[in-house]
Structure 1
């Protein structure tokens, strides 16, 4: 067995939390055998960090149909941001995952509600596994020995385990059946010396799926949870944004302020400072959306807001459709307002367009740089609910 010790990090859920938890009821008949084997799994940081509770969440997402793969970097970043990189209670991570899940592209993947599973009752546990991966808190010493007994590859076999209540690791059960049936589905040989008809489970840990007999699983397990549904997929206009509140500064605040302007609320200035006016605008938006009006911008508020990505910076030498749209707006509004047109609509940001932009900036009381960036995009035009960016087109904003 190698000298190194793999990462662990499960913290036992307090007894009062377990006692108050809603129990899973086997209302759905489970098939006689069952297995979900994702095409792609990973360590998800658990070889060097104690983020097993978060790594199991990534595995559960990989069990989705269609399969969802969250990268190691994303998992480690999520665990770091939520303070669970080196250990966590299972329930704490599941609670956070319900409202602040993994993000990939423009999608967010959250957990559904979780229920306590009676892992000592085979029919109850089979019913749960057939609905989604079951998250276990276990004592890992004997599992690690079995894992290294197969050089850390899928197909390791856990059997003959003694009772161990020292919960320190989180794993996932993704299947059940006989040892022979599970080995066949995993594409591995029946373990040497194993009775192929023994009742067993498929267990994910440390970038592998092993087989563990039912008695051994019970001997080392302290808690088991089913999320139902395992994954709730939502499209977000502002994926992966941090929770921010009054006093915050920086790019996330600018994104928030752009999003608020697009609700529309053109009284907001995009300056990157979360002050009282921004907080008041957030509260008003939350009230209108039926959210808790606390002025704190968390996952639910971000999801409800329009996209807050920036419009492109345009300057001499820029070209394309966005320049064409800009020239159309500058041409249409020049008479009686800023007075100088771009001299045509050709999609090329040349000297005449620079002159028109400077005239527009002078009219809009912003810096006359000839460059179209945040302060210029925010200039309000004649219509009360229209600024330059909305007239040129928000389809040009970054995701």
Structure 2
């Protein structure tokens, strides 16, 4: 039998579940014999299966433990792709749409078409700070401006972090500044109370030079990871156009891009509450670590348990997508690499992916991964990427 480079996922899934016919068992045994890699892969899967108790066995999760490493000689960084079979419906989609064979490994794809010499780079530390008096300060990781004083405000910028420092001459009035993160950027800020905020690409944070009164309130558009300094007597509030998140001292992630319908708050530790702008009461819906609150205008607040690591992956220098459509994925790619993405065929937008990718990889490497999984092709012209069928 000729060796091949494919994994027959349908055969593996039904074999582990004891659902193969006699004829299919023969096919499966032949598949094991034809290549040593097939046998080793199967043995690893059996070992994982045997670790589980009868009531804990979850084949999709077991399969998710196996990683596929795609390496290129040009880069030392490794791209880790966690291949997961999420549910029978996903498996069926693969089987019906693309046959029962899913590509496991393949030589470097030549499908990617690059029609321009324009270099597309991943994001980096860059932002600009609009001070309360209109002063505009450009920030990046190479800027080192120690003890810069603008009006009554003392700030320090060093290696991608801007810090607001206590100043004895602070104004008695509330003075708001805005940190703006462009596409292809990210930045870290330390507020006057010690709270740290990491902002993702295409985000804005409006905040006072010095917190006054009974609360500490900031305004967010985009995505940010917060590590709030504890102060029980002065709750910290993150305000978005859809609702407010109230905390006392905790770590959490907020995502509210205006081109998306929802605001999502994921709690890492501590406690937070959410109140929509349309709420008729002053009550906050609270969650515990490991849970997420999501809200869409006109709908009920939704609380669910999530994989926190997936939701905050960007903060750990990763893209992590679980059952996300290609359209959703390419929105994040567009923000991070500062490109425009169009689809040659609307049906391609709904293709579903589960993977973990390095945010700092070259965009060509990232796109080749998606070409490996489905019969799609990317064409790069300057900073414009077109998604096409092969």
Interval of TM-score (by shorter of Structure 1 and Structure 2): under 0.3
Q: Structure 1-normalised TM-score?
A: 0.18
* Richer in helix (by share): 1
Q: Structure 2-normalised TM-score?
A: 0.18
